[in-house]
């Protein structure tokens, strides 16, 4: 019997696993998809919010601020791409200035450090590319951008290294009470566990209702984005927010940790994980973003995508034990600032487990930390030395992003190995650039086939069923010669 089964390995499940892996407990992560961080975690704004948005006194406010403090340390320890670039909430009209003041007060009450209300001149001095309608801004230096799927992957890798079991393609389809805990139905059998952490993202309410009717309702909400070429990456240097208005929540414009520009999202309720982009949604994003940064050159867009987040019918996170199911802990409704709060949310889960007497002793041989080689970021001397030592780093596979075979091999053999083309993309970065995998795709496929002993016909783009190739040509000659 496991001590804890974590359902879902997005950033919340990963943070919980990472936190738990420090303790001497038998932990398993049950991830429905064939890879971790393959749902909301890979398709969001990638922002660690300063924490002035949530209403003071809410759990959301406390965990947001605590979460981003922890995130900074974790990203440094685990070599996750992170940049504390700060954020500006713009007032694009005199009428919006009181809202900035309101956010400032919120932030102060929430313990957000270093905020300042900037005048129009100060704002434009900081960001010359902004609309000349700018009247002022709320500056929050503690806001940061991160690589959200790398964040989740890194935490999962360390957890696995320290004994947490990860099962992929392991969708939980039922849950029942048993003596001392729960029995979860998964493909091919069951998993028995004393406690459950429900981090099932947009399906958290459905998973919860497997054991008990849920008293919360997830409203899957889709947000569409544009990702622009690095030539637009310096259009702004900070995260640029807008004030919400009668048209809805504003659209943000932000640099990414990779040097691209990210623009979005809109917000539309959808069924399940409907990640399609719509022309009206993208039009809205484009037009709204241009209100803050009029000069964005959308001709330099390299990709449009959408992510679905787990909105709720209430305005706070759902964190706690289900009263009718002791040991069943929900970490649900993790919409913004869910990513920001992740490690603090995990701390809450740990606290509950501790209270229940489940938490084991701290592992004396716990191995924290992670180092990730990024060839393109090395100096010429470092590159030369690396290639000499490991020639696989001498073969560049992804031209657009300068990603080497060495990095791809590391992705295929890591503690949470990639086995799909997008899995390699999320770990090594190959295929993220301006040609979107057109050049490196066949080469990555070949490496996956070679390293994992898979037939090219079985290799997936991402999720199950997304086979890249359908058959061989010239099948008649297969067993000839």
Partner 1 sequence: MKEVICTCCPQGCHLQVDEANDYKVTGNGCPNGIAYGKEELTHPTRIITSTVRAEGGIHSRCPVKTSQPVPKGQMAQVVAALDSVVLHTPIHVGDVVIRNVCGTGADIVTCRNMD
Partner 2 sequence: MVDLVIIGGGPAGLAAACKAWESGLRDILILERDKELGGILNQCIHNGFGLHRFGEQLTGPEYAGRFIDMLKNTGVKVQLDTMVLEVTPDKKVHCVSKEYGYQIIEAKSIVLGMGCRERTRGAIGTPGTRPAGVYTAGAAQRYVNMEGYMVGKRVLILGSGDIGLIMARRMTLEGAKVLACVEVMPYSGGLTRNIVQCLNDFDIPLYLSHTIVDIQGKDRVEKAIVAEIGPDRKPIPGTEMEFDVDTILLSVGLIPENELTKQAGIEMDPRTKGAVVYENMETSIPGVFACGNVVQVHDLVDFVSGESELAGVAAANYVQKGPVAPGRVLNVKPGADLGYTLPQRIRLEGVEKSTNVSFRVRRICGKSTILVKSGDTVIARFKRDRLAPGEMEHIALPRVLLDRAPVDEVTIEIEEA
Binding mask 201-230 for partner 2 (x = CB under 8 A): -------------------------xx---
Q: Which residue has the tokens 């900070």?
A: 238
Report the residue number, 279 or 473, with the smaller CB distance to partner 1: 473
Backbone angles phi, psi at 391, to 5 degrees: -55, -25
Report the residue number, 371 or 474, with the smaller CB distance to partner 1: 474
Which of the listed partners (partner 1, partner 2, none) does 441 bind, with a CB threshold of 5 to 8 Å by partner kind?
partner 2
Residue 476 found at the interface with partner 1 (CB under 8 A): yes
Residue 26 found at the interface with partner 2 (CB under 8 A): no
For residues 77 and 368, what is the distance between their CA atoms, to the nearest angstrom? 8
- Cβ neighbours, 10 Å, residue 391: 12
For residues 299 and 277, what is the distance between their CA atoms, to the nearest angstrom? 17
Backbone angles phi, psi at 362, to 5 degrees: -70, 135
Residue 402 found at the interface with partner 2 (CB under 8 A): yes
Residues 417-446 that bind partner 2 (CB under 8 A): 434-439, 441-442, 446
Count the alpha carbons within 13 Å of 357 in the hemisphere toward its beta carbon.
Answer: 1
For residues 95 and 84, what is the distance between their CA atoms, to the nearest angstrom? 29
Residue 455 found at the interface with partner 1 (CB under 8 A): no
Which of the listed partners (partner 2, partner 1, none) does 480 bind, with a CB threshold of 5 to 8 Å by partner kind?
partner 1
Nearest approach in angstroms of CB 425 to partner 2 is 12
Nearest approach in angstroms of CB 475 to partner 1 is 7
Residue 474 found at the interface with partner 1 (CB under 8 A): yes
Nearest to 222 by CA among 10, 40, 12: 40
CA angle 313, 315, 316 (to 5 degrees): 115
**CA 200 remoteness from chain centre:** 14
**Residues in contact with 450: Cβ distance below 8 Å, sequence separation at least 6, in sequence order:** none
Nearest approach in angstroms of CB 428 to partner 2 is 15
Report the residue number, 379 or 455, with the smaller CB distance to partner 1: 455
For residues 94 and 36, what is the distance between their CA atoms, to the nearest angstrom? 45
Does 49 qualify as catalytic in the annotation?
A: yes
Binding residues for partner 2, rule: CB under 8 A, are: 226-227, 275-279, 281-282, 301-305, 380, 383-384, 387-388, 391-392, 394-396, 399-400, 402, 404-405, 434-439, 441-442, 446, 456-457, 460-474
Binding residues for partner 1, rule: CB under 8 A, are: 473-478, 480-481
């Amino acid at each position: 019997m496991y001590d804890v089964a974590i359902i879902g390995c997005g950033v919340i499940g990963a943070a919980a696993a990472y936190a738990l892996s420090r303790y001497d407990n038998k932990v398993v992560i049950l991830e429905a998809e064939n890879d971790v961080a393959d749902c909301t975690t890979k398709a969001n704004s990638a922002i660690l919010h300063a924490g002035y948005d949530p209403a003071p006194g809410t759990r959301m406010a406390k965990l947001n601020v605590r979460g981003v403090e922890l995130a900074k340390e974790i990203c440094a320890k685990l070599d996750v791409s992170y940049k504390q670039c700060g954020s500006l909430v713009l007032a694009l009209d005199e009428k919006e200035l009181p809202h900035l003041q309101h956010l400032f007060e919120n932030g102060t009450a929430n313990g957000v450090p270093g905020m300042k209300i900037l005048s129009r001149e100060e704002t434009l001095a900081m960001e010359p590319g902004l609309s000349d309608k700018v009247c002022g801004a709320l500056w929050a230096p503690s806001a940061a951008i991160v690589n959200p799927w790398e964040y989740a992957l890194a935490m999962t890798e360390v957890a696995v290294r320290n004994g947490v079991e990860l099962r992929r393609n392991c969708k939980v389809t039922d849950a029942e009470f048993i003596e001392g805990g729960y029995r979860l139905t998964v493909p091919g059998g069951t998993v028995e566990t004393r406690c459950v952490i429900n981090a099932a993202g947009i399906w958290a309410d459905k998973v919860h209702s497997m054991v008990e009717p849920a008293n919360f309702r997830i409203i899957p909400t889709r947000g569409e984005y544009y990702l622009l070429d690095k030539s637009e990456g310096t259009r702004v240097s900070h995260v640029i927010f807008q004030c919400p208005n009668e048209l809805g929540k504003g659209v943000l414009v932000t640099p990414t940790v990779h040097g691209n520009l990210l623009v979005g999202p809109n917000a539309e309720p959808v069924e399940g994980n409907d990640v399609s982009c719509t022309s009206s949604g993208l039009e809205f994003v484009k037009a709204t973003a241009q209100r803050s940064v009029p000069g964005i050159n959308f001709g330099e867009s390299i990709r449009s995508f959408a992510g679905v987040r787990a909105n709720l019918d209430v305005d706070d996170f759902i964190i706690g034990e289900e009263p009718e199911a002791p040991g069943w802990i929900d970490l649900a409704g993790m919409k913004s600032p869910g990513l920001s709060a992740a490690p603090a949310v995990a701390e809450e889960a740990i606290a509950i487990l501790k209270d229940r007497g489940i938490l084991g002793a701290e592992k004396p041989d716990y191995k924290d930390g992670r180092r990730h080689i990024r060839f393109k970021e090395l100096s010429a001397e470092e590159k030369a030395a690396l290639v000499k030592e490991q020639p696989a780093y001498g073969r560049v596979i992804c031209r657009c992003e300068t990603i080497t075979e060495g990095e791809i091999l590391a992705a295929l053999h890591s503690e949470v190995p990639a086995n799909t083309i997008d899995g390699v993309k999320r770990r090594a970065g190959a295929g993220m650039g301006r040609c979107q995998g057109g050049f490196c795709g066949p080469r990555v496929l070949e490496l996956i086939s070679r390293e994992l002993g898979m037939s090219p016909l079985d290799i997936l783009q991402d999720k199950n069923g997304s086979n890249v190739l359908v058959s061989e040509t010239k099948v008649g000659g297969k067993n000839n010669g």
